[in-house]
Structures are given as structure tokens and as C-alpha cells.
Structure 1
Amino acid sequence: MGVFSRISDIINSNINAILDRAQDPEKIIRLIIQEMEDTLVEVRSAAVRTIAEQKELDRKIATVARDVEEWQTKAEFALVKGREDLAKGALQVKSKLQHELDGLKTRHEQIEAGLVKQGEDVAALQQKLADAKAREATMIARHKTATNRLKLRSSTYDGRVGDAFARFEQIERALDELEGKVDIYDMAKPKGVAEELAELQADHQVERELAALKAKLAGTGETR
């Protein structure tokens, strides 16, 4: 892939989308930054070569332009001296040089346009590189935090938690058995004097109420 194809891909790329698809964001963002830095070096080197070519072309254009003027002067001189044939020959040489000069100027315009584009590419790539570097620390921190949280969750929800809950259940069952033993003991223990007297008084009251009820029914003739 050529340098200009790569820089186009980088400038048009969405760093967030790349990172979202990455399994190792730290590695991916470092590779992106390395690719950008390498491409930036290549683009700058290409720009240096283009500038050198432009300067060489400037010198050549100046030289050919002087030649065109010289042959124009020679054609005029020959015509003044009555040598129309020489004047015609000089104009023919001038025409060839002018054609060459026109081609050189066209090439010069193309180089200038290329330099403008290279400058725009460098600026855009530098912006992308700055953005990637600014995101690097944040993305690495987020990745490490998420990884640590995942490890913590994994260790929290492993078999040890199940064992802990099982031990709690054993303790609860033991407490249930202990409470049951206390209840049985309360049910089986002999009654005290106070309890027996209370029951005797309750029975006596019931007997009195029953006798009163019978007497009442006998007075009304409803007894059988």
C-alpha cells in the first residue's frame, strides 16, 4: 500500500470504531499511533523531495526562459542584418524552447498543487495523531480498569462463594435444631405449683359457671 493510500485510510478512519472491535485496545492503539508516526515521516520525506524537485525545476525554467529570450534576440538581429533565413532558423529554435518551457511550467503547477495537498495531509495526519495520543492514556486506563473489575467479579463469583453460602445454611440448620430442643424441653418439664393452682382455679370457675347454667335452665323448665 502506498504512503498516500495509507494516509487517506488513516485520515478517514474512525479510531473509536477500530477500538470497539479490538480485543486488546492497548495494543491496537499503539499500532495505530506507530502507523501514523511512520506515515507522517514518509509524507514529510516525500514533501522534502518534492520541494527539492520544485527548486530544481525553478532553475531549469529560468534557464530555458533566458534561452527563449536569447533566440528571440538572435532572430531579430539576423533579420536586421538581412538574413531572413537565419532569423527563421532562430525562431524555430525559440519555438522548441518555448514548447519545453510551457511543459516545465505545467509541471511546476502540478508540483505546487501536490505540495498544497501534502501540506493538508500532514496537518490532518498530525491532528489524527494528536487525537490518538490523547486517547491512548484514557483507553489504556479504561481497559485496565475493566480487566481488573472482570477479574474481581470472577473471583467473587467463583466456587468459594458457593461454599460460604453452604456453610451459612449448615449454621442455620444447626440453630433450628437447637431451638427445637429448647421447645421440646419446655413442653416436657414438670408443672410448677403456681401453674397447677392457676389451672385448678380455672377449672373451679368453669364448674361454678356450669352449675349456674344448669340451675337457670331448671327454673325455666328447659332441662331434659
Structure 2
Amino acid sequence: MGILSRTSYVIRSKINSVLNRAEDPTETLDYSYEQMRDQLQEVKRGIADLTTQKKRLEMQKKRLEENVEKHNEQARTAVQQDREDLARRALEKKKTKMNQIEDLERQISELQSQQDSLIDQKDELQNRIEEFRTKKETMKARHEAAKASSTVSEAMTATGEEFEDVGRAIERAEEQTEDMEARAAALDELQDSGAFEDVMSDQDQIDRELEELSTDSGVEAELETLKSEMGGGAEPEPEPEPESVDEDDLEEIETDVDNAEIDSELEELQEEENS
């Protein structure tokens, strides 16, 4: 196969593919049906024209037959009047008209045969058109049903392009919703655990704990006040007299105090490192 032949073949195949995609079977069937109806109308017009021509010949034949009868009368009258020459002329005209009548009868017979043939063709074509119309409507109904079924199948399986886009949109929405729910749950958990410090406050964890202790101390002091008021005029217990302390004991107390302060400061440093 040469280059030009291959190129022509490829072009024809491409055009055929485009036409197949653009073709609507229902429109093609309707167009074919209209073409067949046009052919039927052409056959009917041909039959009408043929019948008209045959009628004209029949009318001409009738006139010739009337002339033949007229020439017969003329020949009889001429014989009765001893005018043989006139009778001969009348008979000659009669013979001519008879020959024309025979020719017309032959033409009329041929036209009748053609008319009968065209009528048979018309009847056959009309039957084929009716059959095609029935098949056409059936095929159109099947095509529409198949098209509807395909659309429903695409909708159910989400294989269509639009349904795929909708499915992807739903998936993205679900993913974003799950992310926001997880983030909200994490923030709630961190907030409950106290991991987040109030950005509007200058207090740190130690300040908040000291504030809580101060609050607890205030509550205890108020509770003691209420107890004293409820106890009436009860005499307060005498304060114990301070015991005398030796110098050696005083040094031990100072040593203990120093160690307690060191331990307290160390614990504060450890808390600051951990916080």
C-alpha cells in the first residue's frame, strides 16, 4: 500500500470515527423513513402521469371510433346516391382511422401494463415502508430505553464524569471534616490538661499554683473565724511560755533552717526545669 493510499485510508477511518460518534441512530432512522416516503410519492406521481397519458389516448381513440362510424354512414349514403367515388373516399378515411385506432390500442395496452407494474411496485414499496416504520419505532424505543438504562447505571455506579467529581468532592469534605473534628478534640484535651497557658495572662504554672494555695489559705482562715464566732465567748487557750534554748541547740536549729531553705530552693529550680 502506497503512502497516498495509506493516507487516504487513515483520513477515511478518522472521518468515519467522527461520524459514528456524531450520528444519532434515531435521527438516522427518521431520515431513512422520510427518504422512503419521498420515493413512494415519486412512484405515485409517476403512476398519475402515466394514467393521465393513457386517458388522453383513450379519449383520442374514442374520437377516432366516432369518425369511423361517421365514415360508415357517409359510405352508405354515397352508395344510395350512386356516388361510388364518394363512398370509396369515405371508406379510405375509415380505413385510416381504423389503423390509428389499432395503434392507439397498442399504446394504451402498453401504458396499462406499465401502470399495473408501477401500482404493484407502489404497493410493495408502501408495505416495506410500513414495515420499516414499525421497526423504526421499535428501534427508537429500544435505543431510548438503552440510553436511559445507561444513564441510570452511570448514576448508580458513579462512573460518569460528573458523578466522579461529586464523589471526589464528598471524599474531600469528609476528610476535612474529620481533620477539624480531630483538631478540636486535641485542643479540648490539651485545654483540660492545662498544657495551654492563657496568652492574655502573665502568670506561669508556679504563679497559678501559688494563687491556688493562697486561696486555700484564705478559705481556711475564714473557716477558723466562723468557728470562733460560733464558739461564743470561749476563752482562748494560754500561749505556752517559750522554753530556754541553749547555744548548741540554737546552732542546730540554724543549721536545720539553712538546710531546709536550700532544699526548698532546689525543689523550686527543679520545678522550673520541669515546667
Counterpart of 1:123 in structure 2 is: 123
TM-score normalised over the length of structure 1: 0.52
Residue 41 of structure 1: how far off its partner (Å): 1.7
Cα pair distance change 1:84/1:137, threshold 3 Å: same
Residue 128 of structure 1: how far off its partner (Å): 1.0
Residue 65 of structure 1: how far off its partner (Å): 0.2
Where structure 1 has 5 or more consecutive residues not aligned to the other structure, the ranges are 1-22, 161-224
Worse overlay, 144-153 or 72-81: 144-153
Counterpart of 2:27 in structure 1 is: 27
**What is the rounded CA distance, in whole Å, between the counterparts of 1:95 and 1:24 in structure 2?**
68
Counterpart of 1:6 in structure 2 is: none
CA contact (8 A) 1:75 1:90 kept: yes
Write the mapping of 1:196-211 to structure 2, written as runs, cut at 5 A.
none
**What is the rounded CA distance, in whole Å, between the counterparts of 1:108 and 1:148 in structure 2?**
58
Where structure 2 has 5 or more consecutive residues not aligned to the other structure, the ranges are 1-22, 165-275
Residue 38 of structure 1: how far off its partner (Å): 0.9
Counterpart of 1:113 in structure 2 is: 113
Q: Does 1:65 align with 2:51?
A: no
Q: Does 1:99 align with 2:114?
A: no
Counterpart of 2:132 in structure 1 is: 132
Worse overlay, 137-146 or 102-111: 137-146
CA contact (8 A) 1:29 1:132 kept: no
The amino acid of 2:73's aligned partner reads T
The amino acid of 2:88's aligned partner reads K
Cα pair distance change 1:99/1:156, threshold 3 Å: same
Cα pair distance change 1:157/1:58, threshold 3 Å: closer
The amino acid of 1:103's aligned partner reads D
Residue 134 of structure 1: how far off its partner (Å): 0.6
Cα pair distance change 1:140/1:155, threshold 3 Å: farther
Write the mapping of 1:125-164 to structure 2, written as runs, cut at 5 A.
125-146=125-146, 156=159
**Residue correspondences, number:** 142
The amino acid of 2:68's aligned partner reads V
Counterpart of 2:78 in structure 1 is: 78
Cα pair distance change 1:145/1:82, threshold 3 Å: same
Q: Does 1:36 align with 2:23?
A: no
CA contact (8 A) 1:50 1:115 kept: yes
CA contact (8 A) 1:43 1:122 kept: yes
**What is the rounded CA distance, in whole Å, between the counterparts of 1:63 and 1:56 in structure 2?**
11
Query: Among the aligned pairs, what percent are the same residue?
Result: 23
**What is the rounded CA distance, in whole Å, between the counterparts of 2:76 and 2:45 in structure 1?**
47
The amino acid of 1:112's aligned partner reads Q
Cα pair distance change 1:146/1:73, threshold 3 Å: same
Cα pair distance change 1:157/1:42, threshold 3 Å: closer
Counterpart of 2:87 in structure 1 is: 87
Q: Secondary structure at the match of 1:82?
A: coil
**What is the rounded CA distance, in whole Å, between the counterparts of 2:35 and 2:100 in structure 1?**
41
Higher normalized contact order (CA 8 Å, seq sep 6+, divided by chain length): 1
**What is the rounded CA distance, in whole Å, between the counterparts of 1:157 and 1:34 in structure 2?**
35
Counterpart of 1:55 in structure 2 is: 55
TM-score normalised over the length of structure 2: 0.43
Larger radius of gyration: 2
Q: Secondary structure at the match of 2:82?
A: coil
**What is the rounded CA distance, in whole Å, between the counterparts of 2:57 and 2:30 in structure 1?**
40
**What is the rounded CA distance, in whole Å, between the counterparts of 1:26 and 1:33 in structure 2?**
11
Write the mapping of 1:166-185 to structure 2, written as runs, cut at 5 A.
none
**What is the rounded CA distance, in whole Å, between the counterparts of 2:44 and 2:107 in structure 1?**
21
Q: CA RMSD in A?
A: 3.3
Deviations 1:39-69 (A, max 9, x none): 2222222222333333332222111101011
Q: Which has the higher helix share?
A: 1
